Structure 1
Amino acid sequence: MELLWYIPNQVLPGHRGDEVTADHNSLDTLTAQAKALETYGWGGALLGTGWGRPDTFTVATALVARTTTFQPLIATRPGYWRPANFASAAATLDHISGGRVLVNIVSGKDNLGAYGDHEGDQAHRYGRTREFMYLIRRLWTEENVTFHGEHFRVDNSTVVPRPLVRQPRLYFGGASEAAERVAATEADVQLFWGEPLDGVHERIERLKKLSASLGREHAPLEFGLRITTVVRDTTEQAWADARARVAVMQADHNPHPSVGQQRLLDLSERGEILDENLYTAPGKYGGGGAGTTWLVGSAEDVARSLRRYADLGITHFVLSDTPYLTEIERQGETLLPLLRN
């Protein structure tokens, strides 16, 4: 079981309700979070990406230089980097960090025009993503790579230095049919948001069958869960705090949610609480992405829920709650020991 957190490299303070505003994104603040993750036994943290945020790769590099075991899960977009540039940068950081780099490939919407990128329809977007992942794998493992695809090309390309021990693991998300075909063929880990157990089970089985039908050439696809975990000393306190936070949230009127985001938003129609403690109300009042649904309860409650996901085949967990540093420590002390035992 891999247990990661989330570090919010954001320009504006108050991300997802974090009460830290002074120097919220300074290197010292982010380093304190990364070092706390090491202290309390987390494996590392996801670093988000998007135009208008600090450059994710730069932040990851700085945090690696200040830590010893922290693994950055570096989110990147195929249109923000060229495959050979990214393969070289990631291999270099992996080499000098002692093999700590993880990679999250993102194909969601972004302000593409701001950095000179463009995308066509969904088929074009995921076709480009698949080529990106296929090509960086080859560049990490082969020499003198020549590839002429629909979206990218390289000639006689060799990346040096190589990744230290193994190629960095490729995480990927997406719920559309096009996204799942990319995951089934090229990803190492398919990340799900916080859907109910039956939905996650259905998607795992579908992706396994799809991998077989498409002739997957890599090791079997693994599965991960990215979700908000609201943990308090007691079940009652956790629910009181969760409901109080939702009461002050503002509605988020996103006119074009992704397929995965829409799946989460639709969950509220099934009920406010699913699978004992999966809270769907945040999505109705402003929660997005991993903040759309929350697992709420005592450490024992949340650990029991996460173990149910593990029983379905989830082996990678990316958890978070705010305030970030406080929750790294609280959940590191109370939740992680239960999961490891």
Structure 2
Amino acid sequence: MSNKQKVELGWFIPTTGDGEFIGIAPERPASPQYLTDVAKAAEAAGYEFALIPAGGECWDGFIVGSWIAAQTTKLKSLVALRPGLISPVLAARTAATLDQMSGGRVMMNVVTGHYPQDLKACGDPLYDQHDQRYERTQEFLEVVRGVWGHGGRNAEGFNYEGKHYFVEGGTCQPAAHQQPHPPIYFGGSSVAGKKTAAKTADVYLMWAEPVAWIKEQIAEMEGFLQEQREQEGLDRNLRYGMRAQLVVRETEEEAWDAAWRILSKADPEQVQSKEKLHAKTDAVGQERQMELFRQSEENKFVIAPNMWSGLSAIRGGGAVAFVGTPQQVTERILEFVDVGVTSFILSGYPHLEEAEITGRLLMPVLKAELAKRGL
């Protein structure tokens, strides 16, 4: 990496419940105390931030983020903004309030889509209009950024007129704590998603895939950025992030045993089924995860050294896991750093114990290697 961007490491807050196994009801329901315990464990382990998920079964991210901020001292919250489900001016004000209340410990995760049924249940009229949702997201973020730029009691109003939003005299009270605004993280693997990210995001997020796949995605994003420079005079740069699971143990054999154990209580028919419920989505990222799962079936779902797609048998989203010893997983993560990934959102089952385990085993090795590189 030529620009020596600092690598940041994040964890995950399980607001739908948690446990050692997936494919069964969560053994530990979400609760204020448990989510606090996970957040404190992540902070103690050396993680800098924590992703708070979004979706129909999740607790509200802004409220959880506010709670966590009050229970920790350094940990930042990566909280979802969902265009179409909240007005952009209200979103900007809510985010700025949490930014002020936490002393600048908030980051924004733009979630444009989800499963169509969840979008319908939330009242999104564009639930089945993939590209229009990204068109709306671009306008949404133009308004959010515009209102953030008109923050404070004496700010002049921000005006905007687009296809999806009309704002006259919009201001942000309070002004954001972080300047110019909290960082915007953005995921979306389709062409529409990537072009929107190129125009609006600070960090482009991907789900874990083999290094060559990630390298291709980054190259595609850099192409869209160059296209913007040439055609629109819009000179922007992006950082790149990746979401992955972790199973780290002192020996590789222990790690693989622990990985397969996560699936050990799931219904075998569900594990072996060719039709996965979570694959019924128009999300290109999910399609890519399922392609990896299918391609690796004959190799026990190993998609690359110390990378495993087995959890896609049950869960959607970023299911690919790093599996191995601290040194092995560090080596794999550094391979992604070498192609330009500087933000990692990691997690493991159960999130409390795995935060502690990775804090003890992985983080000293990984951070030492990053320090050697000045990262």
- What TM bracket, shorter-length normalisation? over 0.9
Alpha-carbon deviations, 1:237-296, whole Å to 9, x = none?
11122234345443333452321111111113443323311112332x2132122x2111
In the alignment, what sits opposite 1:8? 14
In the alignment, what sits opposite 2:110? 105
Matched residues in 1 for 2:235 and 2:140: separation?
A: 16
Structure 1 pair 237–305 and aligned structure 2 pair: CA distance change class (3 A): same
Give TM-score scaled by structure 2 length: 0.85
Structure 1 pair 113–245 and aligned structure 2 pair: CA distance change class (3 A): closer
Matched residues in 1 for 2:31 and 2:254: separation?
A: 32
Supply the AA of the counterpart residue of 1:2: E
In the alignment, what sits opposite 2:200? 186
SS at match of 1:201: helix
Alpha-carbon deviations, 1:67-123, whole Å to 9, x = none?
211100002211221000010010111012111110100012252343333115222
Moved more, 248-257 or 36-45: 248-257
Moved over 6 A (4+): none
Question: Which of 216, 234, 258 is 1:202 aligned to?
Answer: 216
Does 2:333 match 1:306? yes
In the alignment, what sits opposite 1:253? 277
Does 2:36 match 1:31? yes
Question: Which of 197, 209, 233 is 2:250 aligned to?
Answer: 233
In the alignment, what sits opposite 2:63? 58
SS at match of 2:41: helix
Question: Which of 142, 162, 166 is 1:134 aligned to?
Answer: 142
Gaps of 5+ in 1: none
Equivalent residue runs for 1:71-86 within 5 Å: 71-86=76-91
Structure 1 pair 52–240 and aligned structure 2 pair: CA distance change class (3 A): closer
CA contact (8 A) 2:141 2:200 kept: yes
SS at match of 1:289: coil
Supply the AA of the counterpart residue of 1:235: E
Supply the AA of the counterpart residue of 1:253: L
Matched residues in 2 for 1:230 and 1:86: separation?
A: 35
In the alignment, what sits opposite 2:292? 267
Gaps of 5+ in 2: 1-6, 151-155, 369-375
In the alignment, what sits opposite 1:213? 227
Alpha-carbon deviations, 1:10-54, whole Å to 9, x = none?
1x55486399735x3111111111112222211020000112322
In the alignment, what sits opposite 1:290? 318
SS at match of 2:305: coil
Supply the AA of the counterpart residue of 2:140: F
SS at match of 2:192: helix
Structure 1 pair 75–97 and aligned structure 2 pair: CA distance change class (3 A): same
Matched residues in 2 for 1:158 and 1:200: separation?
A: 38
Alpha-carbon deviations, 1:100-155, whole Å to 9, x = none?
11010001225234333311522211001111112111111234100011111210
Question: Which of 277, 280, 291 is 2:306 aligned to?
Answer: 277
CA contact (8 A) 1:228 1:319 kept: yes
CA contact (8 A) 2:21 2:265 kept: no
Supply the AA of the counterpart residue of 1:268: F
Moved more, 28-37 or 85-94: 28-37
Structure 1 pair 212–196 and aligned structure 2 pair: CA distance change class (3 A): same
Matched residues in 2 for 1:179 and 1:245: separation?
A: 32
Structure 1 pair 62–218 and aligned structure 2 pair: CA distance change class (3 A): farther
Matched residues in 1 for 2:101 and 2:310: separation?
A: 44
In the alignment, what sits opposite 2:259? 242
Q: What is the number of residues matched between the two proteins?
A: 337
CA contact (8 A) 1:19 1:323 kept: no
Give the share of equivalent positions with the same residue, in percent: 34
In the alignment, what sits opposite 2:373? none
Q: Which has the higher contact order (CA 8 A, sep 6+)?
A: 2
Equivalent residue runs for 1:150-189 within 5 Å: 150-166=163-179, 167-189=181-203
| Cα drift, residue 207 of structure 1 | 0.3
Supply the AA of the counterpart residue of 2:70: A
CA contact (8 A) 2:108 2:182 kept: yes
Matched residues in 1 for 2:57 and 2:225: separation?
A: 36
Give me the CA root mean square deviation.
2.0
